[in-house]
Amino acid sequence: MTIVTVTGIHVYPVKSMRGISLEEAVLTPKGLAGDRQWMVAEPGGRFVTQRDKPELALVATRVEDTGVTLSMPDHGSITVPYRMYDGERVTSRVWKDTCETVDQGREVSAWLTRALASTTPLRLLAMSPGFKRPLHRAPLLGEGTTTGFADAAPFLVANQASLAELNSRLEAAAIPAVPMNRFRPNIVISGVEAFAEHRLQSLVAPDYQLDMRYPCERCVVTTIDQDTAEKHPQAQPFKTLTSINPMPGSKRAPAFAENAVLAHGNLQKIAVGDQLRAVFR
């Protein structure tokens, strides 16, 4: 029997902004409580991420009972109260998924547009109350699966050993190692060999179970330093990762971490230090 340990828990209250590391979090079918509740979008509703605006990495978030506070060096901060019912309704998109959302107001729109030096007005959106996002990859995740503004799935589970293997390859090529935040996972585990997460079926605890569904295809966000918002000039670690762990059936993009769903354990807590039984396919 293989036992893995939870070594990291992270939520990203606003999609593509800086994450928050936690000691414990509440599990829900949509993901970790508080994860990706808001996203930045253009006027027409198209979502905006670090692929478009790397500077989003520099925007810190703090969630409070009444709303969320955004802050960025040289641009101060702004507190945005929850506006779930009285804001403008906006039809938006996350990849191929259509979402019904609520605009969070002109004040935060002006702040984001200025802070991110955008030539297009930006707006902050929250999911409309009661809206259940239909996922275009539902056949892979399980019918009825939904999430907030995550790219693909409710949870992203990363393996510490995979990062260590990647960094050993980078350092052998005289390329600086990268931290786990390049991959923006929700849950980090240790206790299995590099890239063994792609062979996992489930992670089982007494009170909850996470089922792995398919590898996460990585993009250029992996090349963005999350502390400086600067892109690596040689597209690292994307290139090295592609060479050592390509997506199944593809040689042009790498895989890192697993998209996952909650099999059972709604409203249970996951904590750093949890010991989980690893079930392999």
Render pLDDT for 104-161 as a digit per residue (tens, 0 to 9).
Answer: 999 999 999 999 999 999 999 999 998 999 888 878 899 889 999 999 999 999 999 9
- Residue 84 pLDDT > 80, yes or no? no
Asked, for residue 223, whether it belongs to a domain, the answer is: yes
Q: Residue 177 region, left (φ>0) first, then alpha (ψ -120 to 50), else beta? A: beta
Asked, for residue 132, whether it belongs to a domain, the answer is: no
Instruction: Residue 195: give the domain boundaries.
Output: 2-33+138-280
Asked, for residue 18, whether it belongs to a domain, the answer is: yes
The verdict on 43 and 29 lying in the same domain is no
Q: The CATH number of the domain where 183 resides is what? A: 2.40.33.20
pTM above 0.85, yes or no: yes
Instruction: Please tell me which residue, 100 or 84, carries the higher pLDDT value.
Output: 100
Instruction: Please tell me which residue, 249 or 154, carries the higher pLDDT value.
Output: 154
The domain boundary, picked from 127, 160, 181, lies at 127
What percent of the chain has pLDDT above 70? 99
Who's near 53: CB < 8 A, 6+ residues apart?
16, 40, 116, 118
Asked, for residue 218, whether it belongs to a domain, the answer is: yes
What is the pLDDT, as a whole number, of residue 83? 77
Cβ atoms of 154 and 30 within 8 Å: the answer is yes
Spatial separation of the C-alpha atoms in residues 22 and 8, rounded to whole Å: 8
Spatial separation of the C-alpha atoms in residues 189 and 207, rounded to whole Å: 17
Spatial separation of the C-alpha atoms in residues 130 and 117, rounded to whole Å: 33
- Residue 93 pLDDT > 80, yes or no? yes
The domain total for the chain is 2
Average pLDDT of the segment spanning 14-28: 98
- Residue 13 pLDDT > 90, yes or no? yes
Asked, for residue 145, whether it belongs to a domain, the answer is: yes
